[in-house]
Amino acid sequence: MRHLLVSANLLEEQARAIFLAWGSREDQAQASARILVEADLAGIESHGVGLLTMYAQQIANGAVVPGAEITTVIDRGAMAVLDGGGGFGHQVSLEAVGMAARKARLFGIGAAAVRNSHHYGAAGLYAKRIAEQGLLGISTTAVWRPAIVPTGGSQPMLGTNPIAFAAPAAKNRPFLLDMATSTAAIGKLRVKFFNDEPVPAGWVFDDAGNWARDAETALANPKLSPLGGDEEQGGHKGYGLAAMVEILSTTLAGATFAPLRPATQVTHGVGHFFLAIDPAFFRPEGEFEEDLDLLIDALRSTAPLDATRPVQVAGDPEHRRAEERQKNGIPLPSALVERLREIASEAGAPFLLARAGSEAQRPAAP
């Protein structure tokens, strides 16, 4: 599989041009493009510019409103609720993160829920932004369509429903956990499809309850296993976590639970939830961060099974990948590049990735 190596700046410019052509405002287009490219930089291709293929379909179906108006529904004490107007979830989520952080500075804790939104990208990017302000951050989101099959069930009922948690340290990078509550995210099926690779056993059920291996078939009708796989391997725990995320992101926010979405509702009504906590309200300023450094250092110093693979903490692989890709470029599968060309043409946006054409035959970085 050949890849095109693209600089982060060029890829962000391309994504921004597409969002603008779809009708997003400048601030919205910039926010959406940046969130997608940050995911690609971190090696989270499932939530990178490959999502434009899904967004294009949603635009065509009228399920998302480009340029939607964002409104504050509730602003009370340490809590807030925002309405995304049926638009993309990136800009409204960044605004919610800002509100939660400001409230945490005032009250020690701040929470913001979002309703009437859409897909918001990688959950960890929002928790990370909270941690970069010296706060502990939690980010969760529901998803526009059911994909996780409840333990013992045969049909999808819950989205991939990710949980992200980030905490600031004094010297180390923030601890950053970002995980779907399914064994694998739908976006990873998309990555397998574009790379012409089989789906690993344990990710997706077929109609008979066996493991599906073909990415195209799995994408057409995803029936994801909850985190852990089947019940014998602990899948009931992932199922419970997915339901918890749904409650925080949908029931609390007043958003739409996908299986109960009225047939007359065109937009998806996705919900998100953000929580910020100021550690200075718990301990003298700086002590939490210093102790977190000790914890992180202790975990990294764990004797490894394989001396060539030292123990890491959450966020380490993504940070290293971002440094490497910022320097050498982001590898895009040729099939995705061609699809982005088509999307740009259909939207009336320029195809800017042509500037990187001389790199088309360079293999992806390992």
| Rounded mean pLDDT, 14-20 | 98
| Residue tagged 């490219």 (tokens) | 37
Q: pLDDT at position 356, please?
A: 83
Mean pLDDT lowest among 36-45, 222-231, 297-306, 351-360 = 351-360
The better pLDDT of the pair 66, 1 is held by 66
Q: Are residues 251 and 132 in the same domain?
A: yes
* Residue 167 belongs to domain with CATH number: 3.30.1370.60
Q: Are residues 314 and 334 in the same domain?
A: no
Q: pLDDT at position 365, please?
A: 39
Q: Are residues 237 and 348 in the same domain?
A: no
- Work out how many domains the chain is built from and give that number: 2
Q: Are residues 114 and 145 in the same domain?
A: yes
Q: Which residues of 345-365 are buried (b: 16+ CB within 10 A; e: fewer)?
A: eebebebbbeebeebeeeebe
Domain limits for position 74: 70-183+224-318
| Rounded mean pLDDT, 267-294 | 97
Q: Are residues 350 and 257 in the same domain?
A: no
| Rounded mean pLDDT, 294-306 | 97
Q: Are residues 116 and 260 in the same domain?
A: yes
Q: pLDDT at position 346, please?
A: 97
Q: Are residues 142 and 250 in the same domain?
A: yes
The better pLDDT of the pair 218, 326 is held by 326
Inter-CA distances, 220 with 147, 203, 214, 224, 269, Å = 11, 14, 10, 12, 22
Q: Over the chain, what is the mean pLDDT?
A: 93
Mean pLDDT lowest among 50-64, 116-130, 204-218, 322-336 = 204-218
Q: Are residues 175 and 30 in the same domain?
A: no
**H helices of the chain, where?**
8-22, 26-41, 51-61, 89-107, 124-131, 186-194, 215-220, 235-246, 287-300, 316-328, 334-347
SS (H, E, C) 266-335: CCCCEEEEEEEECHHHCCCCCHHHHHHHHHHHHHHCCCCCCCCCCCCCCCHHHHHHHHHHHHHCEEEEHH
What is the secondary structure of 177-188 as a DSSP string? EEE-SBSS-HHH
Secondary structure class of 154 (helix, strand, coil): coil
pLDDT band at 347 (very low <50, low <70, confident <90, very high): very high
Q: Are residues 56 and 132 in the same domain?
A: no
Q: Are residues 148 and 241 in the same domain?
A: yes
Q: pLDDT at position 364, please?
A: 38
Predicted confidence (pLDDT) per residue in 31-57, tens digit: 999 999 999 999 999 899 999 999 999
CB atoms within 10 A of CB 2: 14
Residue 363: pLDDT above 50?
Answer: no
Phi, psi of 102 (to 5 degrees): -60, -40
Does 268 reside within a domain?
yes
* Residue 21 belongs to domain with CATH number: 1.10.1530.10
| Rounded mean pLDDT, 299-322 | 96
Q: Are residues 57 and 74 in the same domain?
A: no
Q: Are residues 274 and 145 in the same domain?
A: yes
Mean pLDDT lowest among 13-27, 127-141, 181-195, 240-254 = 181-195
